Amino acid sequence: MRHKVSQGLFPVLDHVSRLGTEVDLQDVFQRFTFDNTCLLVLGFDPNCLSVDLPELAYRMAFDEVEEAVFYRHIVPEIIWKIQKWLDIGEEKKLSRAMEIIDRFLYQCISLKQEEFRTQRTQIEQADQKKDEDFDLLTACMVQKEEAEMEMEGNEKKMDSYLKSDRYLRDIAFNFIAAGKDTVNAALTWLFWLIITHPLVEKRILEEIKVNFQAREDGNWRFFEVQELGKLVYLHAVICEALRLYPSVPFNHRVSIQPDTLPSGHHIDANTKVMVSLYSMGSMEEVWGHDCLEFKPERWISEQGGIIHVPSHKFIAFNTGPRSCLGQDLTFFQMKTIVTAILWNYHVQVVEGYPISPCLSVMLHMKHGLKVRVSKRSGV
Ligand code: HEM
């Protein structure tokens, strides 16, 4: 990820700062998280984040899938099922987009398998990889090979799905879908909140200054995970942004049998229950009279540590057995990006630019986030 920041993010921000032009920070973050998630999951960098801002069909296909999934939430099931059967409307777009994504993913899987085969002792090689070189596909292939070796000569046969490329494709698709737009949406709202609250921005910069020597030989120095853990105020700012603007604004579950909800409402079997994570983040009953204010201090105890808030209250990452698997990774990514950008650039929202959420399964900004960027000197 550090490589992506220094070789992708910094050159783009330098470029727009030199030209003095406006840039859509949401688009920049979208490209950043797409590249970064593909690197983490597939070990492949699509390089969407470069100065010429290229449009790649498979990146746009992921966006089309998101739109079609939202459509499925707002029309009756029978309607989208008929559209799917007739291959028309949003369902037609969805199946075309999935074809593009599948072509991309199966190509990456086949390249990875080739690379994996040519390695002499695959398991050792994977173990020796540096953290920055880690990718989920290789990890799954190593695990698959270990399972196959264990079962050799054994009566039991490995599940054919687990052995198939389809399994690797499903893992890759799920992780890319789960990781790319969630972090991007969170970063966009977070930056908008920080740059429109100058005192918050000042405190973050002070916290970096107090804790670290941010430059080494005049160059920006990335912080280690343990170092980022010291940035309590920044952690609170991220939690507060995710409380007000959870990347996944709503969620739904279907009951498999009749049940009674904690609210006392009775539901029949096969009932769809929608939960608005967005509303829960701004409810007075849950967060108190100042629930609508952006107040990072609410997360910090008198002793100066982070107050633990249970996941059924701070629900941005969901609660219970299907909670987000990427929470720690998210905080690491967001802290790395915020410290790198704020320390090196001064970012300002274009005056009068309309900011509003869009209706989608992901809480994006409807019109993006247009900003001007200039190099910061002497923090
Ligand atoms: C701001 C960042 C993120 C937010 C707000 C977020 C939020 C969520 C939410 C609400 C769910 C539950 C969805 C549901 O059950 O319908 C979820 C699940 C999940 N998330 Fe995240 N997520 C974020 C980042 C990530 C990242 C970076 C990854 C990994 C690359 C990731 C991986 C997953 C996975 C694998 C699940 C499914 C867990 C399961 O069903 O067992 N997430 N996330």
pLDDT digits (tens, 9 = 90+) for 198-219: 999 999 999 988 887 756 666 6
Answer whether residue 12 shows pLDDT above 90: yes
Taking the centre of ligand 1 as the mean of its atom positions, its distance from the CA of residue 250, in whole angstroms, is: 13
Instruction: Please give the Cα distance from 100 to 107 (Å, whole number).
Output: 11
pLDDT in tens, 213-272: 756 666 677 778 888 888 999 999 999 999 999 999 999 889 999 999 888 999 999 998
| Residue with tokens 């987009």, as numbered in its chain | 97
Taking the centre of ligand 1 as the mean of its atom positions, its distance from the CA of residue 363, in whole angstroms, is: 14
Task: Tell me if 362 sits within 8 A of 1, measured CB to CB.
Answer: no
* Mean pLDDT, all residues of the chain: 88
Instruction: Please give the Cα distance from 278 to 160 (Å, whole number).
Output: 40
Q: Does any ligand 1 atom lie closer than 6 A to the CB of residue 80?
A: no
Residue 215 is predicted with a pLDDT of 63
Percent of the chain's residues with pLDDT above 70: 92
- Average pLDDT (86-110) is 93
CA of 246, closest atom in ligand 1: 5
Lowest mean pLDDT among 51-60, 80-89, 147-156, 304-313: 147-156
Query: Is 324 annotated as ligand-binding?
Result: yes
C-beta atoms surrounding 12 within 10 Å: 19
pLDDT in tens, 286-328: 999 999 999 999 999 999 999 999 999 999 999 988 899 999 9
Lowest mean pLDDT among 17-31, 140-154, 163-177, 332-346: 140-154
Q: Does any ligand 1 atom lie closer than 6 A to the CB of residue 329?
A: yes
CATH number at residue 112: 1.10.630.10
C-alpha count within 13 angstroms, C-beta hemisphere, residue 14: 10
Taking the centre of ligand 1 as the mean of its atom positions, its distance from the CA of residue 316, in whole angstroms, is: 9
Structural domains in the chain (count): 1
Instruction: Please give the Cα distance from 113 to 175 (Å, whole number).
Output: 19
Task: Tell me if 80 sits within 8 A of 90, measured CB to CB.
Answer: yes
Q: Name the closest-CA residue to atom 1, ligand 1.
A: 183
Q: Does any ligand 1 atom lie closer than 6 A to the CB of residue 184?
A: no
ipTM computed for the complex: 0.97
pLDDT in tens, 146-169: 777 777 666 666 677 777 889 999
How does residue 129 score in pLDDT terms, banded at 50, 70 and 90? low
Q: Does any ligand 1 atom lie closer than 6 A to the CB of residue 248?
A: yes
Q: DSSP letter string over 107-140?
A: HHHHHHHHHHHHSSSHHHHHHH--GGG--HHHHH
Q: Name the closest-CA residue to atom 3, ligand 1.
A: 182
Domain containing 138: what range?
2-375
Alpha helices in the chain (DSSP H): 2-4, 10-19, 25-42, 57-74, 77-86, 89-118, 122-128, 136-151, 160-163, 165-195, 198-211, 225-228, 232-244, 277-280, 284-287, 327-344
Answer whether residue 335 shows pLDDT above 80: yes
Taking the centre of ligand 1 as the mean of its atom positions, its distance from the CA of residue 228, in whole angstroms, is: 21
